[in-house]
Amino acid sequence: MRVKNRLDGLLRIGGAMLGAGVALAACSGGGQGSAPAAQSAAPPAAAGCEPNGDMQYICGLEAVEDLLRIDESRWLLGSGLGGENRPGTLVLIDSQAHQAEVLFPKADARVAHDAARFADCTTPPDPAVFNAHGIALRVAQNGDGKEFLVVNHGGREAVEFFHLNTAGDKPALTWQGCVLMPPDTSINSLDSLPDGGFIATLFYVPSKGGIGAVFDREITGGLLEWHPGQAVTPIAGTELSGANGILLADGGRVMYVAAWGTRDLVRFERSGNTVTRRSVPVDFAPDNLRWTRDGKLLVAGQKFVPRREGPENLDGWTVAVADPDTLAITKLREVDGTAPFQGVSSAIEVDDNIWVGPFRGDRIAWFPRPQRSD
């Protein structure tokens, strides 16, 4: 879910950004180069950040809208949306020590521009306005570590490419370049292609109603495709309202997309220039998508609660799994608008837990993964 100043107050973001590179406190229990080592124990829980039933928190992380896991390791990566008077962040989370730190922006952020691949993008993101959104991870083209792809709205609409070094004590990032988006686009999420390219979701066109058109369930975008050395182009036949999370299968031939505006889960298949579509409605606004260990889709999203005074509120959330063939949904957790933790936009499986991140607020959370009968 996109949160920026131009949403004109539709969505709330609270708190202030902590200093880059400092450890962030876990709310319960427990690289390389200049990256500091993880602490062995978490500081005491901050007031108001204690566990709530089986839900536990790491606090001090602002609006971590998307999450992913680095292979089967203890390490998670998160993207923090920017808000008023603070930039967005990229954060590293230790799922065992229950601690986190900011990887970008920070004073000693590493840069190694790849001019051969990114000739049109020569400078790293402006740390003062950096605004992270959807993220994806892939094996690096040269087989050395991984590449971390990040949607950035701050100062430019682009997909930023970082090298992720996983050989040290903890993962470390080095900025490599970016792919600039066409004018008048606002993208949301992305997944990588085998050739080093990606497919991104076009959430809306700012000049054609912006977020308001998404709330009105109008067709606002679809899918954009980029291959190295080529231009960013739309994929005909993928038009949607509020195209949000995306996962690719079969080398990009199959594309799973969350249609946030119309509250649909969509499966596209490509054969040459032909795109076929199948979709199922859901009773929440599906946001980010991730794979489960058994090859299903993990879907997180918000509820819509009509407000008498105007725009719909986004309190309440759902985490569910979907069958990749039938798109049949099985809910794992459903929370109403009275719960203390709101705004969930992403969910990932980490061992026996589900970790969730919100598009607003000052924390991420985890809870035991429910047993499924499917």
Q: Is residue 254, in this structure, part of any structural domain at all?
A: yes
Q: Is residue 291, in this structure, part of any structural domain at all?
A: yes
Assigned token pair, 250 = 């079969």
Q: Is residue 263, in this structure, part of any structural domain at all?
A: yes
Cα 209 to Cα 288: distance, rounded to the nearest angstrom: 23
For the segment 328-343, what is each residue's pLDDT rounded down to a tens digit? 999 999 999 999 999 9
Q: Is residue 50, in this structure, part of any structural domain at all?
A: no
Whether 224 and 200 have beta carbons less than 8 Å apart is answered as yes
CA atoms within a 13 Å half-sphere pointing along the CA-CB vector of 246: 34
Q: Is residue 45, in this structure, part of any structural domain at all?
A: no
Overall domain count for the chain: 1
Cα 49 to Cα 198: distance, rounded to the nearest angstrom: 38
Whether 343 and 361 have beta carbons less than 8 Å apart is answered as yes
For the segment 34-91, what is each residue's pLDDT rounded down to a tens digit? 333 333 333 445 567 899 999 999 999 999 999 999 999 999 999 999 988 899 999 9
Whether 94 and 34 have beta carbons less than 8 Å apart is answered as no
Cα 309 to Cα 243: distance, rounded to the nearest angstrom: 27
pLDDT value at residue 1? 52
For residue 273, with 0-12 CB atoms within 10 Å meaning exposed, 13-18 middle and 19 or more buried, which class applies? exposed
Neighbours of 329 (CB within 10 A): 19
For residues 241-248, average pLDDT = 98
Q: Is residue 49, in this structure, part of any structural domain at all?
A: no
Exposure string of 31-53, with b = 16+ CB inside 10 Å and e = fewer, is beeebeebeeebeebeeebeeee
What is the longest distance spanned by two Cα atoms in the chain? 57
Q: Is residue 290, in this structure, part of any structural domain at all?
A: yes
pLDDT value at residue 305? 76
For the segment 8-41, what is each residue's pLDDT rounded down to a tens digit? 333 333 333 333 333 454 554 333 333 333 333 3
Cα 323 to Cα 333: distance, rounded to the nearest angstrom: 17
Flag whether pLDDT at 367 surpasses 90: yes
Whether 240 and 266 have beta carbons less than 8 Å apart is answered as yes
Whether 194 and 169 have beta carbons less than 8 Å apart is answered as no
Q: Is residue 374, in this structure, part of any structural domain at all?
A: no
CA 360 from chain centre, in angstroms, equals 13
Pick the range with the lowest mean pLDDT from 40-49, 215-224, 319-328: 40-49
Read off the CATH number of the domain in which 20 is found: 2.120.10.30
Cα 99 to Cα 23: distance, rounded to the nearest angstrom: 7
Flag whether pLDDT at 260 surpasses 60: yes
pLDDT value at residue 148? 98
Quick one: what percent of the chain has pLDDT higher than 70?
85
pLDDT value at residue 93? 98
pLDDT value at residue 14? 33
Assigned token pair, 337 = 């608008």
- pTM summary value: 0.88
CA 61 from chain centre, in angstroms, equals 14
Residue 164's φ and ψ, nearest 5 degrees, are -110, 110
For residues 168-179, average pLDDT = 95
CA 253 from chain centre, in angstroms, equals 22
Q: Is 266 helix (H, G, I), strand (E, B) or coil?
A: strand
Assigned token pair, 348 = 């990932």
For the segment 128-150, what is each residue's pLDDT rounded down to a tens digit? 999 999 999 998 877 788 999 99
**Sheet of strand 254-259: strand arrangement:** 243-249, 254-259, 264-271, 274-281
Q: Which domain holds residue 282?
A: 5-40+55-368
Assigned token pair, 85 = 């008077």
